[in-house]
Structure 1
Amino acid sequence: MGFSADWLALREPADHAARDDALLEAAARVAGARPVVVDLGCGTGSTRRAFGARLGGAVWRMVDGDAALLRLAGGEAHRLDLNDVDALPLDGATLVTASALFDLASAPWVDRLVDRLTRLNLPLYAALNYDGRMDWTPELPEDGQITAAFNRHQVGDKGFGPALGPGATQYLAERLQAAGYAVREGDSPWQLGPDRAALQDELLAGIAQAAQEAGFAGDASAWRAARQAWVGQGLCRIGHRDLLAVPQTVSERRG
């Protein structure tokens, strides 16, 4: 698993526009009066920037395996392999965050993380997890097959073992609820119009490649070319889900 700073910069405006505002506000409240936030897979710090003044004065522990991205992220840099859940710097935190991460993670990794969160009584804000839905206007005949093939690709190993892919938010919610958390969810879809043409171009390239690798029966590059012809006037919607999970005691104390 790894992403370039250029790709992260390209997607950040769409990510910020997509986040569920109510859950973002609630997460900021749950973090408390002296927030200490651990951002897992922080990249260049987009989650911190999304909170902005809502968490002014917070201590941010930025966790990523990429030293180059950490240098851009700000906050306290913790270069770690996220697979080592016990090494994550969670002690003394008031909120754990992650964006566009859990759809890449495996069920056993989520289980280990939820167990540690539960032991430490920590809330979790997990945003922008892909949910398997892709819609374009206008439609093309191959859209459904491309989406199905892409979704098959999304459950391959992304660095944590077989990924949860589109089922990530549901699995995470069920595990947290079983551990006694109050869980809230919200939609956070990318809505990409002609003003996001560069992002659409990069996205189409990645979708086509993944779909072909996952067994799309046709020519994914031809689908990509047909889709790119509409980038300047069509619309694209990529589904994501946000989640906020709060232990009951934390909700009573900070919520």
Structure 2
Amino acid sequence: MGFSADWLALREPADLAARDAALLRHAAKLAGPEPLIVDLGCGTGATRRAMAQHLPKGARWRFVDNDPDLLAHVAAGSDQYTEVVKADLAAIDSLPLDGATLVTASALLDLVSEGWIHALAARLRTPFYAALSYDGVMRWAPDDPDDRAITDAFNHHQQSDKGLGPALGPKAAARATQVFSAAGFIVQQAQSPWQLGPKMTDLQQALTSGIAQAAASAGSSCAEDWGQKRHDAASNTQCVIGHLDILAIPKRTHNEVVHAIR
């Protein structure tokens, strides 16, 4: 599992626009008046940038990733409220979650296994905000006769092992909702689709290149041609890529919040 800083920078505006605003604000509120937020698979720290305006001054962040290059990007912009930790994300029991008031993960759940989610749900006693999990939906306008076949091949590829066990891929957010609910959490869910127009040509081209490569790896014979056509048409294409955000709240925390509102 790994992503380049360039790709993460390219997709960050689309991610920021896609995140469900109400769920994001609720997650920030649940972090409390003196937050310590642990961000799993932190990348370059985009979750912090997305939440910053909703958190009190002095909110602390513990960024956790297994990629030293991405952690270096985070460290370069760190302050006294920032901690950077290199850790094996597969080792749930040893993840540095102590003291956390909120745990977050963005664009991560679709890369992990069901066992990983079970282990995390069993360990957490704090709210968990997981945004931007790919849900298997792709729509293009204008469409192409091969769109459906490419989507099917890509979705199949997304369920291969990305380093954290057989990935849940498009089923991740729905399955995580079930797992956390069974573990005693109240789970809220919201759609957070990418909506990419011609102004995001560079992102569309990078996206379709990656989709085509994955589809080819999954055995699609039309992937290369499809990728070239989509690359060439990006400046005239509208694209929707489905994602889901979830917020899992321990029942005790949820009840305390409801009582306080009343």
- Which TM-score bucket, shorter chain as reference? over 0.9
Give the count of matched residue pairs. Answer: 251
Question: Quick one: structure 1 residues 71 and 254, their matched pair in 2 at CA, closer, same or farther if it must change by over 3 Å?
Answer: farther
What is the CA RMSD across the aligned residues, in angstroms? Answer: 1.0
How far 1:254 moved relative to its partner? 4.6
Q: Please list, as runs of the form range in 1=range in 2, the aligned pairs for 1:90-169 lying within 5 A after superposition.
A: 90-117=97-124, 121-169=125-173
Could you tell me how far apart the structure 2 residues matched to 1:148 and 1:52 are? Answer: 37
Could you tell me how far apart the structure 1 residues matched to 2:222 and 2:29 are? Answer: 49
Matched, 1:59 2:60: yes
TM-score by length of 1: 0.96
How far 1:228 moved relative to its partner? 2.0
CA contact (8 A) 1:32 1:254 kept: no
TM-score by length of 2: 0.93
How far 1:253 moved relative to its partner? 3.4
Residue of structure 2 aligned with 1:253, choices 239, 253, 256: 256
SS of match in other structure, 1:139: coil
Could you tell me how far apart the structure 1 residues matched to 2:24 and 2:113 are? Answer: 25
Task: State the identity %.
Answer: 55
CA contact (8 A) 1:37 1:95 kept: yes
In structure 1, the gaps of 5 or more residues are: none
Could you tell me how far apart the structure 2 residues matched to 1:105 and 1:171 are? Answer: 11
Structure-2 residue corresponding to 1:227: 230
Residue of structure 1 aligned with 2:205, choices 192, 201, 212: 201
How far 1:219 moved relative to its partner? 2.5
How far 1:72 moved relative to its partner? 1.7
Q: Please list, as runs of the form range in 1=range in 2, the aligned pairs for 1:43-58 lying within 5 A after superposition.
A: 43-55=43-55, 56-58=57-59
CA contact (8 A) 1:29 1:254 kept: no
- Listed one character per residue, the Cα deviations across residues 70-100 of structure 1 (whole Å, up to 9, x for unaligned) are 1222320010010111111111110000000
SS of match in other structure, 1:132: strand
Could you tell me how far apart the structure 1 residues matched to 2:257 and 2:97 are? Answer: 18
How far 1:186 moved relative to its partner? 0.4
